[in-house]
Amino acid sequence: GENVEQHPSTLSVQEGDSAVIKCTYSDSASNYFPWYKQELGKRPQLIIDIRSNVGEKKDQRIAVTLNKTAKHFSLHITETQPEDSAVYFCAASMGTGTASKLTFGTGTRLQVTL
Amino acid sequence: DSGVTQTPKHLITATGQRVTLRCSPRSGDLSVYWYQQSLDQGLQFLIHYYNGEERAKGNILERFSAQQFPDLHSELNLSSLELGDSALYFCASSVTSGGYTGELFFGEGSRLTVL
CB atoms within 10 A of CB A56: 13
Q: Does the pLDDT at position B44 exceed 60? A: yes
**Nearest residue of A to residue B54 by CA position?**
A99
pLDDT of residue B55: 87
Q: Which residue has the higher pLDDT, B21 or A95?
A: B21
**Nearest residue of A to residue B107 by CA position?**
A43
Percent of chain A topping pLDDT 90? 76
* HSE value, Cβ hemisphere, 13 Å, CA-based, for A69: 1
The mean-pLDDT minimum among A38-42, B50-54, B92-96 falls in B92-96
Cα–Cα dist B29/B23, whole Å: 12
Long-range contacts of B67-72 (CB under 8 A, 24+ apart): B68/B32, B72/B24, B72/B25, B72/B29, B72/B30, B72/B32
pLDDT of residue A97: 60
pLDDT of residue B103: 87
Average pLDDT of every residue of chain A:
92
Q: What is the dihedral of CA B56, A38, B26, B93, to 10 degrees?
A: -10
pLDDT of residue A53: 82
The vertex-B30 CA angle with B113 and B72, nearest 5°, equals: 60
Q: How big is the A-B interface in CB pairs under 8 Å?
A: 82
Nearest by CB to residue B43, choosing from A44, A95, A97, is: A44
* DSSP SS3 for B107: coil
The winner for highest mean pLDDT among B40-44, B94-98, B102-106 is B102-106
Touching B: A residues 34-53, CB under 8 Å: 34, 36, 42-46, 49, 51
* A75 touches A107 (CB < 8 A): no
Contacts of A58 (CB under 8 A, 6+ apart): A64
**Residue environment code for B67-94, b if the CB has 16+ CB neighbours within 10 A, otherwise e:** ebeeebebbbebeebeeebbbbbbbbbb
pLDDT of residue B24: 98
pLDDT of residue B41: 73
The mean-pLDDT minimum among B46-55, B68-77, B85-94 falls in B46-55
Min CA distance, A17 vs chain B (Å)?
26
Q: Does the pLDDT at position B98 exceed 60? A: no
Confidence of residue B95 (pLDDT cuts 50, 70, 90): confident
**Do residue A103 and residue B58 have CB atoms under 8 angstroms apart?**
yes
Inter-CA distances, B73 with A27, A33, A44, B34, Å: 31, 26, 20, 12
Cα–Cα dist A94/B98, whole Å: 13
pLDDT of residue A96: 64
Percent of chain B topping pLDDT 90? 77
Q: Which residue has the higher pLDDT, A28 or B68?
A: B68
Cis before A44 (ω within 30):
no
pLDDT of residue B1: 86
